[in-house]
């Protein structure tokens, strides 16, 4: 009995030591794994710093469709989230397309998904990030800052909304790109919603909850509101 008990004690001690060591190593690995994404967090602060665990994916951009749509080798057609660029034939279409091509064309990019990851046309919806030296650029934000895209926020996809609105404010106040073009036929006032603004006659203006009337178009744009695509105010 005695030798057996001693053997068992020794066995337990022997087991206990390596298992404690293994536990420490395990915890170190878990801690390092948990820290990993934090180190690569692109936006260390700010009003809408990217969450650490948001879905991400890598892709390589193989084709540029226009200023807000690209084709990735993995994800196919990708609509850049929360921006809108001029349609073909409209002023600055070529400039917006060329700017996006310069930023991400042929490059390895990181896609950041928001709540809705695919639209009704089957396109992937994502923010597109690209390396720029040690930093990373949010492609959509760059276009908005240059006045080549307007902010186009569609809830529930709110990631980077505040950054994009700030970029549009900068572009509008500096009369860049779209905001240097002659404004469309003015209205005595506009109907302003949470994300867009309209001409008073627009059918969509009637659907806005808590609409606000405002006269100063530039001030509305500087707030980061999108011109309605139907009434083009």
Q: Would you count residue 198 as binding Zn ion (CB under 5 A)?
A: yes
Q: Does 204 bind Zn ion (CB under 5 A)?
A: yes
- Please choose, from the candidates 66, 162, 70, the residue with its C-alpha nearest in 3D space to the C-alpha of residue 125: 70
Q: Is 136 in the site for Zn ion (CB under 5 A)?
A: no
Compute the least distance from the CB of residue 202 to Zn ion, in Å. 3
Nearer to Zn ion, 61 or 192 (CB): 192
Rule CB under 5 A: is residue 75 a binding residue for Zn ion?
Answer: no
Sign, CA dihedral 169-173-179-185, equals positive
In the complex, least distance from residue 179 CB atom to Zn ion, rounded to whole angstroms: 19
Shortest reach from residue 44's CB to Zn ion, in Å: 38
Instruction: Determine if 230 is a binding residue for Zn ion (CB under 5 A).
Output: yes
Q: Is 217 in the site for Zn ion (CB under 5 A)?
A: no
| Shortest Å distance, C-beta 209 to Zn ion | 15
Using the rule CB under 5 A, is 165 a contact of Zn ion? no
From candidates 202, 208, 220, 221, binder to Zn ion by CB under 5 A: 202
Q: Which residues contact 46 (CB under 8 A, 6 or more apart)?
A: 162, 163
- Tell the smallest beta-carbon distance from residue 162 to Zn ion (Å): 24
Query: How far is Cα 70 from Cα 179, in angstroms, rounded to an integer?
Result: 24
**Of 86 and 227, CB closest to Zn ion:** 227
Q: How far is CA 191 from CA 164, 198, 210, in A?
A: 21, 5, 10
Residue with nearest beta carbon to Zn ion? 228
Instruction: Tell me: does residue 225 bind Zn ion (CB under 5 A).
Output: no
Indicate whether 208 belongs to the interface with Zn ion (CB under 5 A): no
Q: State the number of binding residues for Zn ion (CB under 5 A).
A: 6
Candidates 140-148, 149-157, 162-170, 191-199: pick the segment binding Zn ion (CB under 5 A).
191-199
Smallest gap from Cβ 214 to Zn ion, in A, equals 14
Cis peptide before 156 (omega within 30 of 0): yes
Burial group, residue 109, by CB count within 10 angstroms (0-12, 13-18, 19+): buried
Distance CA 63, CA 183 (A): 32
Q: How far is Cα 178 from Cα 96, in angstroms, rounded to an integer?
A: 10
Token pair listed for 98: 């060329």
Three-state DSSP class for residue 76:
strand
Sequence-distant (6+) residues with CB within 8 A of 151 are 82, 83, 84, 144, 161, 164, 165, 167, 168, 224, 225, 226
Kindly indicate which of the ranges 9-17, 129-137, 154-162, 199-207 contains the residues binding Zn ion, using the contact rule CB under 5 A.
199-207
Contacting residues toward Zn ion, per CB under 5 A: 198, 202, 204, 228, 230-231
């Amino acid at each position: 009995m005695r030798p057996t008990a001693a053997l068992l004690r020794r066995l337990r001690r022997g087991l206990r030591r390596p298992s404690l060591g293994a536990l420490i190593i395990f915890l170190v690995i878990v801690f390092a794994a948990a820290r990993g994404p934090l180190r690569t967090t692109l936006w260390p602060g700010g009003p809408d710093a990217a969450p650490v665990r948001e879905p991400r994916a890598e892709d390589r951009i193989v084709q540029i469709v226009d200023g807000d749509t690209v084709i990735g080798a993995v994800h196919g057609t990708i609509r850049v989230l929360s921006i809108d660029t001029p349609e073909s034939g409209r002023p600055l279409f070529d400039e917006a397309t060329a700017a996006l091509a310069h930023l991400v064309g042929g490059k390895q990019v990181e896609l950041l998904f928001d709540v809705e990851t695919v639209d009704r046309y089957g396109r992937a919806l994502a923010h597109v990030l690209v390396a720029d030296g040690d930093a990373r650029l949010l492609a959509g934000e760059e276009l908005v800052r240059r006045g080549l895209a307007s902010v186009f926020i569609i809830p529930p996809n709110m990631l980077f909304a505040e950054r994009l609105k700030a970029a549009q404010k900068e572009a509008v106040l500096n009369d860049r790109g779209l905001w240097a073009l002659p404004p469309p036929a003015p209205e005595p006032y506009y109907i302003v919603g949470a994300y867009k603004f309209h001409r008073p006659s627009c059918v969509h203006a009637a659907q806005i909850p808590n609409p606000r009337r405002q006269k100063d178009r530039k001030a509305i744009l500087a707030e980061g509101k999108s011109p309605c695509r139907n009434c083009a105010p």
